[in-house]
Structure 1
Amino acid sequence: MAPPAQTNRSPSPSQPSGKSEVTDLKSQLRQLAGSRLPGVDDSKRELFKKVISYMTIGIDVSSVFGEMVMCSATSDIVLKKMCYLYVGNYAKVNPDLALLTINFLQRDCKDEDPMIRGLALRSLGSLNVANLVEYLVGPLNAGLKDNNSYVRIVAVIGVLKLYHISVTTCIDADFPAVLKHLLLNDQDTQVVANCLLALQEIWNGEASTSGDAMKEREALLSKPFIYYLLNRIKEFSEWAQCLVLDLVVKYVPADSNEIFDIMNLLEDRLQHANGAVVLATAKVFLHLTLSMTDVHQQVYERIKAPLLTLVSSGSPEQSYAVLSHLHLLVMRAPYVFSADYKHFYCQYNEPSYVKKLKLEMLTAVANESSTYEIVTELCEYAANVDIPIARESIRAVGKIALQQYDVNAIVDRLLQFLEMEKDYVTAEALC
């Protein structure tokens, strides 16, 4: 019997078969490094893409480091981004290459294009090499004073990165004081939000060891500062609004008048299109009124409609998140939601985890006036193709029967389950 014919398969053009391809790439990059011919940036892009693709699939292309840096001496943003991605990847694991990167990135931090300045500063802060932090202080100082808001946004986060690499360097350079000044005076709300985030992390970390940091952290919760943020909250992004609202929860108002002032300022946030903002606002309202029983109950009524709207208007994941919050409120005050039980009816296309929460809430809000309709709805779920949900619905009928006085009609429904001739239905009905 003749052996099978051997076929020679050439390596895929998208993957190098050995060091020769990387060497060839290095040669081509070196030829283009000093070229000023028309279209040279397009040729560089193609080579950069190959280098990045090889790096992504785990092939060592660190040998072309010098050539990549030389080819990035251009104003082409795409080339810069790919080069920063490359040098950041190898500089983190190779201190020698990281040192070579410093001069290149520091030069780009002074570029005329603010986008390049910001990208270079971000890459410089991402090197995460403790021995090189002194090279970061100067560019960060310049970035915090830059006239372009994007560069300042990046610089603020760079300060936070520096703090996590070297606390001493960050504090000695007096960066927290600069961030505080920007927080109170910068016109760009994203810069303000980033400063708030950075200062919270820095002062929370330092509060356990420094009395000054403790005072600064308490200053974040002072009345002038809180009202300054609240008066600008509409200018902030959704993420930043949640950051501000999370800080407001920790604030202790002086009296009931101040509580009402804050709630009036935040009233329109309950109508926000973003679910996270609505939930964060509801948390503020509930927390502020904990000591005011009557007002606390009114807050339940006020936040009910926005939360129920979010349940029906979002994705299943958002519905589950909002329902989880509603579930806590329903367990605390079921009578508030007793008239809204139809919002907790299950939809056929909802995931099981959403249906399970709704069944628990239907059980909690059932009262004398709604029991019949709720039990009728639950009986429909007993024939659900999702067996765990069918079981849960039968259990819910039994729980409602235990908490109602007139149970004859419910018992009749349970007896009807025995006629369905399904083992799991019979088992749950008997239990």
Structure 2
Amino acid sequence: MAPPAQSQRSPSPSQPSGKGEVSDLKMQLRQLAGSRAPGTDDSKRDLFKKVISYMTIGIDVSSVFSEMVMCSATSDIVLKKMCYLYVGNYAKYNPDLALLTINFLQRDCKDEDPMIRGLALRSLCSLRVPNLVEYLVGPLGAGLKDGNSYVRMVAAVGVLKLYHISASTCVDADFPALLKHLMLNDPDSQVVANCLSALQEIWGLEASSSEEAVRGREALISKQIIYYLLNRIKEFSEWAQCTVLELVSKYAPPDSNEIFDIMNLLEDRLQHANGAVVLATIKLFLQLTMSMTDVHQQVYERIKAPLLTLVSSGSPEQSYAVLSHLHLLVIRAPMLFASDYKHFYCQYNEPFYVKKLKLEMLTAVANESNTYEIVTELCEYAANVDIPIARESIRAVGKIALQQYDVNAIVDRLLQFLEMEKDYVTAETLVLVKDLLRKYPQWSHDCIAVIGNISSNNVQEPKAKAALIWMLGEYAQDMQDAPYALEGLIEDWEDENSPEVRLHLLTAVMKCFFRRPPETQKALGAALAAGLADMHQDVHDRALFYYRLLQHSVSVANSVVNPTKQAVSVFADIQSSEIKDRIFDEFNSLSVLYQKPSYMFTDKEHQGPFAFSEELGNLSIGSEPADDILPAQRVEANDEDLLLTTTEKEESRAHGNNDSAYNAPAYDSSLSQLAVSQTEGELVSLDQTVPADAPQASSAIDDLFGLGLSIAPSPAPSTPLKLNSKAVLDPSTFQQKWRQLPVSISQVLILLYLSCILYALTLLQ
């Protein structure tokens, strides 16, 4: 069986298109296998290069396996490397062929050249064939005792490869003990680092119930090994230093003196040029001093300068990673970073993701002393030609205002944004003004005076229009034109594509009706009729809820729609302190960059399932439908060609005089009749007993709002569903109706997906 192709590119005319070219290569390699003539190695190189290039583009050249092995009998290290690459690629998928390589690899493990010994040992451990593990024990044992550091370094990693192939063989050969001895006695720092990395993974993968694994882990974080590694940390590479620091973070010093000793040993690591080493050191310092409050605060002061230096002296990617960790620290101790807010000002040449994070930093460090300077800087960004940054800066100003810092001046700045006559600025400002009014109702007079001059026709973004509609309904008594603005929006109901806007419009009209009934009566009737006929389920249900609520009791409807106002103290989208603590515990990891604990992006229950879309072969991740799939509610009324429904069903869908597709259901005969007092402008409920045989039970509310809805009689018992045996449906119509159906079930089909991929690769080969 050939390995899966590494590329799906079609071979060019110069590449082999059949078995003839591979056969020619095989014959040429066989002729050169036993040749000792001058220039043979150069010819072998050319042939080896062809074989490797064919293998790289996915062409099966496993038929030349034996010839490649025979040609490997050379002292040319370049040929050795290419041969090892070829063998390692095909041995895993051809265990029988891999057996042919054992002899020459074992022979090369004893070569005089240490480079060849190391390469051969690495290739031998990379075969990954379980049946050949017995041939790895001897060369690995010799490699761990080799006089050359490169061979020992390869052997240490080879032990880990052996463990992944056969853990029992690795443990029975006592390789972990050999690695530990080598780690504590080898003069080469890279060998020590490889031994440490292999031991961490071996003892970490061992079952927790294994006494040997527990003892190994305890021995690895003993004081002797920790101090040995810390004293040699300057000799290690940057990657190895991070490994050592990660190990030290698991060590629990018995007293404070030992904590200070470790911190003094690692003090100079905070000035390291590599950001990973600095962050690993900071994580260690924070963990060691977690129970020492005063020292912990001093650590914050000490690590501030190195972090700010890394932010300003590095690539944008490094700046973003460091800023993400700095943002986490700022959230925990904002006062310590309040005086350094100018370090978070945006530079013109920075990418968007760095600027956005800096705006979040400015929001986090804002307090009473620096709010004016920060808001002034953010207001400059609002006029930026970069529209996303302008939006983010306006949101940052609003977040600072919600933190109760200099609210008076910030509200004036936000209202000035509305005079910039830029659509995106107006949209973001309206959303923020809505949140401010929810938290600070006392500023309603100043805000409404400006908001009332904004025409709803000039606001196109759904969130901004929803915010404007909310203010029209919430402060209808203070905005003179509120009923008429809402009436104009209702007239454009069919042109409004956002369900969120239509939902807010229904609620706003209800609020306005209870405050200014005479002016809003007609608008409420039109809104209820349009909502009942709406194809979106949420909009339809809310309109039906309001309709039934008004029929039940006017006072109850008023208390539901217009409850007692209470200022919002904490918004729901603010991240909980528990989540922040979990992220802090995973400092110096991807959790800080993603701003969520690791279980949220690693555990299977938090990942979206694999789901196949309606079109065959199109795999999508998650449960969101494709853009071209119509909502399930928008099923046309021409389904009668498939199903023959009863007469009662057709009659129940009859349209009223308001062109609504909805017919109000039957209610009890004792309903509250509504009337409007034109003198006082208040809604009055006249509870009157209506005879049970009255033909119009809800005529009062229908007449009041101009709905003209009639009460349907009690539904008759439904008759069994009958199928049309002569139904004819063309393929395109069937496909359209199939897409309109809701998703009934979504399952993880990973095995089917992988089978399809393997089948496709087989066809391509």
TM-score interval, smaller chain: over 0.9
Instruction: In structure 1, give the amino acid aligned to 2:90.
Output: Y
1:84 matched residue in structure 2:
84
Q: Deviations over 1:134-181 (max 9, x none)?
A: 011111011111100000011011100111111110011111111111
Determine the C-alpha separation between the residues in 1 that align with 2:66 and 2:190.
36
1:8 matched residue in structure 2:
none
Alpha carbons 2:391, 2:425 under 8 Å: kept: yes
SS in 2 for 1:162: helix
Alpha carbons 1:45, 1:79 under 8 Å: kept: yes
1:3 matched residue in structure 2:
none
1:172 to 2:177 alignment = no
1:28 to 2:28 alignment = yes
Q: Which of the pair has more CA radius of gyration? A: 2
Determine the C-alpha separation between the residues in 2 that align with 1:131 and 1:32.
31
1:371 matched residue in structure 2:
371
2:57 matched residue in structure 1:
57
Alpha carbons 1:221, 1:251 under 8 Å: kept: yes
> For residues 275-286 of structure 1, what are the structure 2 equivalents within 5 Å?
275-286=275-286
Alpha carbons 1:311, 1:318 under 8 Å: kept: yes
> For residues 346-425 of structure 1, what are the structure 2 equivalents within 5 Å?
346-425=346-425
Determine the C-alpha separation between the residues in 2 that align with 1:43 and 1:99.
27
Instruction: In structure 1, give the amino acid aligned to 2:208.
Output: S
Alpha carbons 2:144, 2:155 under 8 Å: kept: yes
Deviates more, 1:394-403 or 1:219-228: 394-403
Alpha carbons 2:371, 2:405 under 8 Å: kept: no
Instruction: In structure 1, give the amino acid aligned to 2:124.
Output: L
1:151 matched residue in structure 2:
151
1:129 matched residue in structure 2:
129
2:623 matched residue in structure 1:
none
Give the deviation of 1:348 after TM superposition. Answer: 2.2
2:269 matched residue in structure 1:
269
1:318 to 2:307 alignment = no
Q: Deviations over 1:333-360 (max 9, x none)?
A: 0111111111111122222222221111
Instruction: In structure 2, give the amino acid aligned to 1:140.
Output: L
1:344 matched residue in structure 2:
344
2:100 matched residue in structure 1:
100
Give the deviation of 1:404 after TM superposition. Answer: 4.3
Q: Deviations over 1:43-82 (max 9, x none)?
A: 1111101001111111111111111111111111111111
SS in 1 for 2:355: helix
Instruction: In structure 2, give the amino acid aligned to 1:312.
Output: S
Alpha carbons 2:367, 2:405 under 8 Å: kept: no
> For residues 175-186 of structure 1, what are the structure 2 equivalents within 5 Å?
175-186=175-186
1:218 matched residue in structure 2:
218
Give the deviation of 1:245 after TM superposition. Answer: 0.3
Determine the C-alpha separation between the residues in 1 that align with 2:189 and 2:423.
61
Determine the C-alpha separation between the residues in 1 that align with 2:33 and 2:27.
10
Determine the C-alpha separation between the residues in 1 that align with 2:70 and 2:144.
28
> For residues 282-321 of structure 1, what are the structure 2 equivalents within 5 Å?
282-321=282-321
TM-score (norm 1): 0.95
Give the deviation of 1:388 after TM superposition. Answer: 3.0
Determine the C-alpha separation between the residues in 1 that align with 2:184 and 2:176.
13
Determine the C-alpha separation between the residues in 2 that align with 1:60 and 1:286.
54
1:228–1:60 CA distance, 2 compared to 1 (3 A): same
Instruction: In structure 2, give the amino acid aligned to 1:156.
Output: A
Alpha carbons 1:368, 1:404 under 8 Å: kept: no
SS in 2 for 1:47: helix
Determine the C-alpha separation between the residues in 1 that align with 2:207 and 2:255.
27
1:335 matched residue in structure 2:
335
Determine the C-alpha separation between the residues in 2 that align with 1:40 and 1:313.
52
1:113 matched residue in structure 2:
113
Give the deviation of 1:407 after TM superposition. Answer: 3.2
Q: Deviations over 1:84-133 (max 9, x none)?
A: 11111111101111111111211111111111111111111011111110
| Structure with more of its chain in helix, by fraction | 1
Deviates more, 1:339-348 or 1:409-418: 409-418
Determine the C-alpha separation between the residues in 1 that align with 2:405 and 2:78.
72
> For residues 227-238 of structure 1, what are the structure 2 equivalents within 5 Å?
227-238=227-238
Instruction: In structure 2, give the amino acid aligned to 1:17.
Output: S
Deviates more, 1:96-105 or 1:271-280: 96-105
Determine the C-alpha separation between the residues in 2 that align with 1:405 and 1:379.
16
Determine the C-alpha separation between the residues in 2 that align with 1:396 and 1:333.
19
Structure 1, unpaired ranges of 5+: 1-10
Equivalent residue pairs, number: 421
SS in 1 for 2:59: coil
Determine the C-alpha separation between the residues in 1 that align with 2:185 and 2:227.
15
Alpha carbons 1:311, 1:322 under 8 Å: kept: yes
Determine the C-alpha separation between the residues in 1 that align with 2:403 and 2:56.
61
Determine the C-alpha separation between the residues in 1 that align with 2:399 and 2:369.
16
Give the deviation of 1:423 after TM superposition. Answer: 1.5
Alpha carbons 1:190, 1:236 under 8 Å: kept: yes
Alpha carbons 1:367, 1:404 under 8 Å: kept: no
Alpha carbons 1:337, 1:365 under 8 Å: kept: yes
